[in-house]
Amino acid sequence: MLITLEGLDGSGKTTVWEALHDSHPDAVFTREPTNSWYGDAVNRAIRDDDADPLASLFLFTADHADHLSRVIRPALADDELVISDRYSDSRYAYQAVELQQSEINRPLEYVRGIHAAFTRPPDATIYFDIDPETAAARSGATNKFEQAEYLSSVRANYERLIDAEQHRFVRVDATKSPEEVIDRVEDAVDRLVDAHEN
Ligand SMILES: Nc1ncnc2c1ncn2[C@@H]1O[C@H](COP(=O)(O)OP(=O)(O)O)[C@@H](O)[C@H]1O
Ligand SMILES: Cc1cn([C@H]2C[C@H](O)[C@@H](COP(=O)(O)OP(=O)(O)O)O2)c(=O)[nH]c1=O
């Protein structure tokens, strides 16, 4: 089963992902951008304020393709529980904003379309819901994405994705204390795994 964690920068995904290592020690933990050389290229694009948005999209997507073949598909074939800190929805939400000023019409649909032929959609996605101002403040606003205005557009895209596939998403109030958020997500993962097995 594949469960993904999604939300704005600073929403607390990584804090929870780390806590889940203790509560679900048998799961396979992974993330995007990955730690491969494709992920290194993605991290260069994130740090480059002048990176071409379409070129960045394809770097992120290359990293996803490698992630799928190297980590996700083999783990799912072994019947593992896979928990990924960010996954395809991050592309749909973030790169669609980057492409808003480009020649691409309907960027969110375009980015989804590129993935459709080869991706493996998550079975469930936990969405860390937080306002863009708190997210930007928590993340330290260290890269081009971690600005409240940008994150506000990213959040609107996440809401569109949730509207389109409500059954896949579990919304968690990420403004609560770390302990409360961790408890909520641990419970959600247990319920999702039970429902998947029964
Ligand atoms: N629920 C929370 N309340 C307040 N601060 C938090 C909470 N969760 C995480 N943080 C802090 O916010 C910052 C970003 O958290 P992080 O888990 O790295 O978020 P993300 O992976 O979503 O960017 C870190 O300094 C972290 O300690
Ligand atoms: C995976 C992914 C990340 N990103 C962005 C979100 C982050 O600003 C940055 C790095 O992701 P990440 O390391 O998960 O940052 P954070 O822990 O702050 O959420 O890359 C995309 O724009 N598209 C993607 O597909």
143 lines ligand 2 (CB under 6 A): yes
Q: Quick one: how far is CA 53 from the chain centroid?
A: 18
43 lines ligand 2 (CB under 6 A): no
Q: Rounded to 5 degrees, what are φ and ψ at 168?
A: -80, -25
Structural domains present in the chain: 2-197 (3.40.50.300)
4 is in an annotated binding site: no
In this structure, the residue with its CA closest to atom 20 of ligand 2 is 46
Model pLDDT, residue 67: 98
SS3 of 133-168: HHHHHHHCCCCCCCCHHHHHHHHHHHHHHHHHCHHH
Which amino acid is it at 88?
A: S
Model pLDDT, residue 143: 84
Model pLDDT, residue 182: 98
Cβ-contact 144, 9 below 8 angstroms: no
Model pLDDT, residue 144: 83
Ligand in nearest proximity to the CA of 10: 1
63 lines ligand 2 (CB under 6 A): no
Mutate which of 14, 30, 84, 86 for ligand 2? The one with the most ligand atoms within 8 Å of its CB, which is: 86
> Side by side, which strands form the sheet with 124-129?
28-31, 82-85, 2-7, 124-129, 169-173
Q: Quick one: how far is CA 50 from the chain centroid?
A: 23
Cβ-contact 28, 83 below 8 angstroms: yes
Strands in 42-96 per DSSP E = 82-85
In this structure, the residue with its CA closest to atom 3 of ligand 2 is 90
What global pTM score does this model have?
A: 0.97
Mutate which of 90, 129, 131, 138 for ligand 1? The one with the most ligand atoms within 8 Å of its CB, which is: 138
Model pLDDT, residue 156: 98
Cβ-contact 102, 54 below 8 angstroms: yes
Q: Chunk the chain into consecutive blocks of 10 residues (it has 198) and report each block's average pLDDT, rounded to whole numbers.
A: 98 98 98 98 96 97 98 98 98 97 95 98 98 95 86 98 98 98 98 95
In this structure, the residue with its CA closest to atom 25 of ligand 2 is 91
Q: Which residues contact residue 70 at a Cβ distance below 8 angstroms, ignoring those fewer than 6 apart?
A: 36
Cα gap 186→198, rounded to integer Å: 18
| Angle at alpha carbon of residue 90, lines to 32 and 104, rounded to 5° | 125
pLDDT tens-digit series, residues 122-168: 999 999 999 999 999 999 988 888 889 999 999 999 999 999 999 99
Cβ-contact 12, 128 below 8 angstroms: yes
177 lines ligand 1 (CB under 6 A): yes
- 103: CA distance to ligand 1 center in Å? 35
